[in-house]
């Protein structure tokens, strides 16, 4: 199972700030988290990687 938290998503997006990552994961069309725990939201890694490939092919550019 491939699960990601916000910090892992930040890494996939080129090490962007936590604030910027929070904005991106809140956008319409970003995959919904599979669960929200006390430590935060958790996403399906496969869905997040597919979204990044489609929407941000060069994640270091914004």
Per-residue pLDDT of the chain (62 residues; tens, 9 = 90+): 899 999 999 999 999 999 999 999 999 999 999 999 999 999 999 999 999 999 986 755 55
* Closest of 57, 44, 51 to residue 28, by C-alpha: 51
* Closest of 20, 61, 37 to residue 10, by C-alpha: 20
Instruction: Name the phi and psi angles at 11, rounded to 5.
Output: -60, -45
pTM for the full predicted model: 0.87
Q: Is residue 16 part of a domain?
A: yes
* Closest of 59, 62, 3, 1 to residue 31, by C-alpha: 3
Give the chain's domain count. 1
Q: Is residue 8 part of a domain?
A: yes
Q: Is residue 24 part of a domain?
A: yes
Q: Is residue 62 part of a domain?
A: no
Q: Is residue 15 part of a domain?
A: yes
Q: In 10 A of CB 58, how many CB atoms? A: 7
Q: Is residue 9 part of a domain?
A: yes
Q: Is residue 10 part of a domain?
A: yes
Token output for 13: 């997006």
Q: In terms of residue numbers, what domain contains 37?
A: 3-55
Q: Is residue 7 part of a domain?
A: yes
């Amino acid at each position: 199972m491939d699960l990601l938290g916000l910090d892992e998503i930040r890494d996939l997006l080129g090490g962007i700030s936590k604030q910027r990552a929070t904005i991106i994961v809140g956008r319409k069309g970003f995959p919904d988290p599979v669960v929200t725990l006390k430590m935060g939201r958790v996403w399906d890694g496969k869905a997040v990687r597919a979204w990044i490939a489609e929407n941000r092919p060069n994640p270091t550019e914004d």
